[in-house]
Structure 1
Amino acid sequence: MEALVNTLVRRSLTALLTLAALTTVSAPAQAINYGVDDDGAHPYVVLVAMFDADDEYIGRCSGSLLAADVVLTAAHCTDGAEYARIFLEENLEGVAFATSDLYDATGEPHAMPGWTGALTTPDTHDLGIYTLDTELVVERYATVAPLRTLDELATKRGTRDTYFTTVGYGLQQRKPYLVNQPKRMYAVSDLINLRSNLVDGVGLQTTNNPGDGRGGNCSGDSGGPILWQDSDVIVAVNSFGLNNTCKGNDFAYRVDTEAAQAFILPFLA
C-alpha cells in the first residue's frame, strides 16, 4: 500500500507542475468509483503491476488484452517501469504485488511516441503497450474502435443518452475514507465533451459518480478501457482526473485517431 501511495503522490505532483500553467490541476486517474463487481463481464481487463530496473514495485494500473500477448494501457503506466507483471485474476484482495508469484505473464513497456512523461493537454499521447512473454488465453479480447468512431458525437445533439463503460482495478474511493480492494470492477459514465480545451479531438471527457446508477474512475484505473456502451470496443484509455478525490470529471485518451492507431495496430500485426 505504501508503494502505491508513493506512486500516486509522485504522479500527482508531476501532473500539478505540468498543468499549472494551463490553470488546470490534473492527476492520473486510478480506480472505479461507485462501480460494481465485474463478475466475469470483462475477462480481458488485467491488473498491471509495474517494476523498475532494480525489481522494485512502483505501482499498479489497469489494462486490456487486445491479443494474447498485447496489453493496452496508458503511457504514464509505463513511466519508470522496466517491466510489468500482468494479473488476470478478477479478485486480488490480499495479494502483495511486490512479492507475489501469482502473476500470469511479464510485459515489456512501450510508450506512444510523443509521450513526454507529463500530462500536457490536450494531446497527452497517453497510450502505452505491454508486449507479453507468455500468451494469455481468455474467453474474448477487447477490440480497438474503428478510425474516427467518436467524431460524429462531437457535433451531435442529444448526447445525454451517450454512455460508456469504464473497467479497472483500484481504489473504490478516497474520501471520506480510503477503500482499496484490488479487484476488477466496472461503472457506467456519460459523455460530457470531445472538444473542450482539455481534450480537443484527441481525448474524451466523461462524468464521474453523478448518481442515477453512474460511476467513474479512481486511483488504480489508469490505463483501463473506456468501452463503447455495453460492447468490448475500446474508444479511449483512462488517463487523468481534475483532482485526487476521484470526484468530478474523468479524462481519457482516444484510440480512434490516426496517431493512436498508428501506434497500436503494428503490435497486433
Structure 2
Amino acid sequence: MQNRRKTLTRLGALTAAGLGVAALALGATSAYADDNAPNDIEPKIIGGQPAEDGQFPYIVALADAGDPSFNFCGGQLVAEDVVLTAAHCTEGSAAADIVIRHGSTDITQTDIYDVTDIYVAEGFDGSTMVNDWSLIKLAEPISGAETVPLAESDTKDWGTLTVAGWGTTESGSSSEDLLYVDVPYITDTDCSGAYGSEFNADSMICAGDLENGGVDSCQGDSGGPLVSADGVLVGIVSWGYGCAEAGNPGVYANVGLLYDDITTKLADF
C-alpha cells in the first residue's frame, strides 16, 4: 500500500534521511500513505527550483510547537491572522500543538507565530480526502503580510499551474529553501482515469505530467499552494500515489469548488 497523504511525519523524515525513501508529505501533492504501510514513495519535488524572495509572500509552514525546527506541512495566508491549509495537516491537533513559520524562503530564517484556534472542514474524511481544507487562527496578525486571492470558481481549464513547498526533494530529505515547480492542469476525466472512484470531482483537482511524470509535489508539501499563472490559489496540496510518477498526478483540494464554504467560515473565524 502506498502513502496517500503528503504530510511529513517524524517517522517518515527519519526513514527518508536514513534510507533515502520518501517521508510523508511535501511537494505538489500531500503525503500519500498510511503511516503503518511500507513507505515506497520516491521523495522529491520533481523538477523544482528555488523560489526568489517575495515570489510566494503568502506561503507559510506548519511546525511542531514542541520543536519548531520540524515543519511538516505548508499553508497560505488568506488574512493577516488566518492560514488556509489541508485538513489532514491539522485534524486531531490542538492549537497549542502547532506554530506557523513565515517571512523567508529559507525555512531556518522564518519568524514563528503562535496559534489560537483550528477549524477542520465539515465533511472532511481522512479515508477519502474529500473536503481537505482547514483554517488556522494566529495569536496575532502578521502586520502588512500579503495574502493569496482564492479562485472563486472552477474554470476546468487552468493551463499551467505552480506548486511550492519545503517538502521532500530528490535527495530524500526536506529542503531548507522554498522550492517550486510548474505542473500542467489535468482534466477531471483524465484524473478519474488515473484514480477511479478515489478522485472526487466535487472537491478535488489534479495537476502534473500525466504521461511522463517528473514534476510534482511530495511529502511535506501538504496544505501548500497550487496557484495559477496570475497568482490565484486554485488548489491545496492534498494527496496522490507516489511523487511525480507517470500516471499518478498530484491531487489537490479544489479551491474554486470549495470557495463558498471557505469564505463563509473565514468571515466569522
Fold-level similarity (TM above 0.5): yes
Displacement of 1:234 after TM fit?
0.7
Query: Is the Cα–Cα contact under 8 Å of residues 46 and 63 in structure 1 kept in the other structure?
Result: yes
Secondary structure, counterpart of 1:144 in structure 2: coil
Aligned to 1:130: 136
- Whole-angstrom distance in 1 between the partners of 2:142 and 2:259: 24
Deviation string for 1:120-153 (max 9, x for gaps)? 16xx11111111111113552101111x232x43
TM-score, reference length from structure 1: 0.72
Secondary structure, counterpart of 2:169 in structure 1: strand
The 5 Å alignment of 1:213-252 reads 215-228=215-228, 230-243=229-242, 245-247=243-245, 248-252=248-252
TM-score, reference length from structure 2: 0.72
Distance of aligned partners of 1:30 and 1:251 in 2 relative to their CA distance in 1, 3 Å threshold: farther
Cα-Cα RMSD: 3.6
- Whole-angstrom distance in 1 between the partners of 2:131 and 2:36: 14
- Give 1 or 2: higher strand fraction: 1
Displacement of 1:224 after TM fit?
0.6
Indicate the structure whose relative CO is greater, using CA pairs within 8 Å and at least 6 residues apart: 2
* Runs of 4+ with deviation above 6 angstroms: 209-212
Query: Is the Cα–Cα contact under 8 Å of residues 74 and 127 in structure 1 kept in the other structure?
Result: yes
Displacement of 1:59 after TM fit?
5.7
- 2:100 is matched with which residue: 77, 83, 86? 86
Distance of aligned partners of 1:2 and 1:70 in 2 relative to their CA distance in 1, 3 Å threshold: closer
1:5 aligns with 2:20: no
- Whole-angstrom distance in 1 between the partners of 2:77 and 2:175: 22
Identity %: 21
Secondary structure, counterpart of 1:77 in structure 2: helix
Query: Is the Cα–Cα contact under 8 Å of residues 150 and 255 in structure 2 kept in the other structure?
Result: yes
Letter of the structure 2 residue corresponding to residue 87 of structure 1 = R
Aligned to 1:120: 128
Deviation string for 1:190-221 (max 9, x for gaps)? 01222424132421111159779x73201111
Query: Is the Cα–Cα contact under 8 Å of residues 171 and 219 in structure 1 kept in the other structure?
Result: yes
Query: Is the Cα–Cα contact under 8 Å of residues 199 and 205 in structure 1 kept in the other structure?
Result: no
**Aligned residue pairs: how many?**
233
Segment drifting more, 162-171 vs 201-210: 201-210
Runs of 5+ unmatched residues, structure 1: 17-24, 96-100, 154-158
